Amino acid sequence: MKKLLLLAAIALPAGACADMTPTQQRAMTGTAIGAGGGAILGAIGGNAGLGAAAGAGAGLLGGLLVDQSRRSQDAAFQQGFAAGQQSR
């Protein structure tokens, strides 16, 4: 029973991400990682809820920064690829 619940706990969020844009996926991933890390640090400090909230905010910003960097890299790649195709 525990294995089934664990499988469902992993599969449901993964399925929910299927129709999200890459920006939404990165923002949600950053938020989840930040909330988890913040909750752990907050629990050590005595307030897991506050730590989770602060971590979620920081994770959201981090996820959006990663997304912006990734989109910039993709645009540079596409520009270089197009320039290479034109020079043939």
pLDDT at 7 over 90: no
Distance of alpha carbon 4 from alpha carbon 16, whole angstroms = 18
pLDDT of residue 19: 84
Degrees to nearest 5, angle at CA 39 with 14 and 33: 35
Angstrom CA distances, 41 to 1, 15, 17, 45, stand at: 31, 29, 27, 6
Q: Is the pLDDT of residue 9 over 70?
A: no
Q: Could you tell me how many residues make up the chain?
A: 88
Q: What angle do CA 26, 69, 35 make, to 5 degrees?
A: 35
The pLDDT value recorded for residue 6 is 63
41-77 tens-digit pLDDT = 999 989 999 999 999 999 999 999 999 999 999 999 9
For 21, list phi and psi in degrees, rounded to 5.
-75, 160
Amino acid 34: pLDDT = 93
pLDDT tens digits along 26-43:
999 999 999 999 999 999
